[in-house]
Homo-oligomer: A and B are copies of this chain.
């Protein structure tokens, strides 16, 4: 039965973020004490850890909401979760390719810049087709 400040500290989230997660329905039915103060149960905190971990993997809060809904029914969930994970994996691979290409191109420009005594080959490269 932790209060919001303790939970925030424990999880490395801000209290505003915790309230925001509640507002968008990512965590639900947080108990309140007589004064209206949120009292997080262990299960709520586990849910929040789930959110954090899934977010770190690259899922959006919307996708995490889906994952959390799947959680109630693991048998039904398996293929759906697998599909979501595969799709996310594809996105990451694509993202990776694009960034690698950018990195290589920029790296080449910087090398060129080192090798060129005057003028600015980086700016020049933007000028020509």
Contacts and interface: CB of A to CB of B under 8 A. Distances in A.
Interface of A: 46, 49-50, 53-54, 56-58, 67, 70-71, 74-75, 77-78, 81-82, 85-86, 88-89, 92-93, 95-96, 99-100, 102-103, 105-107, 109-110, 113, 118-120, 122-123, 125-127, 129
Stoichiometry, copies per complex: 2
Contacts of A127: 46, 50
Contact of A103 (B67, B93, B113): B93
Contacts of A67: 123, 126
Contacts of A81: 113, 120, 122-123
Contact of A106 (B75, B89, B102, B118): B89
Contact of A57 (B58, B106, B119): B106
